[in-house]
Amino acid sequence: MKAALVIALTLLAMSAWALWTPDLNRTALEQRYLQAPGDMVQVLGTPLHVRESGPKDAPAVLLLHGFGSSLETWETWTPALSAGLRMIRVDLPGSGLSPPDSSQDYSDARSVALIRALLDARGIQKTHVVGHSIGGRIAWTFTATHPQRVNKLVLLAPDGFASPGFAYGVAPEVPATLGLMRWTLPRWLLRMNLAAGYAEPKALSDDTLQRYHDLMRAPGARQAMLSRLQQTVLVDPVPLLKRITAPTLLVWGRDDAMIPFSNAADYQRALAQATLVPLEAMGHLPMEENPQQALPAVMQFLTK
């Protein structure tokens, strides 16, 4: 009996060791993903990773990534868009190379305040805004509350309407099992979760998986992700969306398994000027799964 218990505890310890996924060294991450030291800036007392490209005197475009992602998600679109636009990509606090927010505030109101302060610091009075998923929710919230600051709005499968586990007016209950990712995040498990964002899971490349895995293991990043979830309190989006007068482009994969394509109709009913670009055989991450499929429509919309 005692021998069997020792064997069981040994196997359990070996399993825990095999699944343990520690944070990566920040210096090593910056050597791999930071293009220039000046890309780390202070905004409202917290450091942000911001990457710019394109002519400084061109119309500005602010790009906001989704949950668990980073500004690297736009890498496939940036070269073409930078030819005639000033592209400003930012890692939200606790994402990519941006450390956790010094205030520990991950509410949408805090995100909107950071965006406003970042634009002010760069002397940008008006910009196009592009947002994906949770970044889409932050994008349309900023547009609704600061209409004078936004020219055009591009929303890729934006979050915002109530869904299972996310009701209006209450913070969601984050499962304890999800909290385990602070200590364990094996590549195979991350691949399984990321692949759900693709209509064709094989489109998830090893390089893309490695990038997600690296940046989610930045010091404090996983706790920041959990905090962002715990602090998400959705409001009925319709009153805010109805305040948006900026021309809006909705880009949505018909096979999106994370935020269903049917939600596009809700946005079209609420937005004054919304054009929908449905993407056939495409999931939640069009700019990664098939970068060229949606890019022409986005480029035409932003530059016409």
Amino acid found at 195: A
**Which residues have C-beta within 8 Å of that of residue 258, sequence separation ≥ 6?**
133, 157, 196, 197, 283, 284
Q: For residues 246 and 131, give the distance between their C-alpha atoms in angstroms, rounded to a whole number.
A: 14
Count CB atoms within 10 A of the CB of residue 146.
15
pLDDT at 210: 97
User: How many separate domains does the chain show?
Assistant: 1
Residue 248: both structure tokens together: 């809006």
| Residue 303 to residue 297: CA distance in whole angstroms | 10
All residue ranges of the chain with pLDDT < 70 are: 1-18
Distance CA 260, CA 157 (A): 8
Locate 297 and state its tokens.
Answer: 């429509």
Q: Is residue 53 part of a domain?
A: yes
pLDDT value for 17: 52
Whether 203 is covered by a domain: the verdict is yes
Predicted pLDDT at 104: 97
| Phi, then psi, of 149 in degrees rounded to 5 | -100, -5
In a domain, 20, yes or no: no
**Alpha-carbon torsion angle 129, 300, 284, 28, nearest 10:** -60
> 145 in a domain, yes or no?
yes
Report pLDDT for 75: 96
C-alpha 17 chain-centroid distance: 30
Structural domain of 242: 36-303
Q: What is the DSSP string of 105-170?
A: --SHHHHHHHHHHHHHHTT-S-EEEEEETHHHHHHHHHHHH-GGGEEEEEEES---S-BTTB-BTS
How many angstroms separate the CA atoms of 198 and 179, rounded? Answer: 24
Tokens, residue 290: 């098939």
Note the pLDDT tens digit of each residue in 63-117.
999 999 999 999 999 999 999 999 999 999 999 999 999 999 999 999 999 999 9
Separation between Cα atoms, residue 194 and residue 285, nearest integer Å:
9
Q: How far is CA 121 from the centre of its chain?
A: 22
Residue 29 lies in a domain: no
Q: Which CATH number does the domain housing residue 122 bear?
A: 3.40.50.1820
What is the pTM for the complete model shown? 0.93
The Cα–Cα gap between 160 and 267 comes to 10
What b/e string do you get for 156-194 counting C-beta neighbours within 10 Å, with b at 16 or more? bbbbbbeeeebeeeeebeeeeeeeebeeebeeeebbeeb
Task: Give me the phi and psi of 42, to 5 degrees please.
Answer: -100, 125
